Amino acid sequence: MAPLMLGLALLAAVTLMLQRREREQRLHAASGVEVTLNQEAQEVRELFEAGDVREAWLRADQLVRDAEALAAATVSREWAYADLRGRAHLLRAEAALELGGGAVRAEMDFMAALHFLRDTENSVFAPRARLGAARARLLQGDAKTAEAKLTDLLAKNPNYGAAYVWRAWARRALEDARGAGQDEEMARKFGFP
């Protein structure tokens, strides 16, 4: 009986060791994929800034799918790779707006970005996602909601000059010339024409 117990204990130990090794290999592989996806995100940003918006959107779309697949394949927690997933949605949404269509889809991506970036409020990406969601609302003709979103954004980020520009446009659409003029003045203080 003792040899049987010893054999079972040995088998359990070997099984645990193999499971641990497999998990470590998966994590190592996922780490490499994350680095690659972060590099891809930077390349998408560079394409966007260079004016190749269509290619940026196509690559951002693939980046979203790859980031979601990475999170699904490595762990079962919802917040796996949240920053990467949030940035991927943000890039795809910004490119969609620049292409001149898909404001509803872009807003969904901006909201997905905010969903993933909510635990990283201090990052530069969350305010960009909030600004994008407001821009999408304005492009859909909902100036009132856009103005409210921008007011909330500026309450949290009073030095975000681009938000003053967009809130001025929202206020002009709402026929609030005085408020729009104040926002334009603030935007000029931050270097916007």
Q: What is the pLDDT along the chain (193 residues), one digit of tens a residue?
A: 566 665 565 566 556 566 666 555 554 454 555 667 778 888 888 887 888 888 888 888 888 888 877 777 666 555 567 777 888 888 888 888 887 767 888 888 888 888 887 755 556 788 888 899 999 999 889 999 999 999 999 999 999 999 999 999 999 999 999 999 999 999 999 998 8
* Per-residue pLDDT, 188: 94
* Per-residue pLDDT, 31: 53
* Per-residue pLDDT, 155: 95
Which residues lie closer than 8 Å to 160 by C-beta, 6 or more apart?
Answer: 127, 131, 153, 154, 190
* Per-residue pLDDT, 153: 93
Which pTM value belongs to this model? 0.67
Sign of the dihedral through C-alpha 152, 158, 121, 143? positive
* Per-residue pLDDT, 193: 80
Judge contact between 47 and 60, C-beta under 8 A: no
Which residues lie closer than 8 Å to 87 by C-beta, 6 or more apart?
Answer: 41, 113, 117, 125
Residues of the chain with CATH 1.25.40: 31-140
The architecture that CATH gives domain 31-140 is Alpha Horseshoe (1.25)
Which residues lie closer than 8 Å to 53 by C-beta, 6 or more apart?
Answer: 47, 95, 98, 99
CA distance 36 to 116: 19
Amino acid identity at 105:
R
CA distance 113 to 117: 6
* Per-residue pLDDT, 158: 93
* Per-residue pLDDT, 33: 57
* Per-residue pLDDT, 96: 83
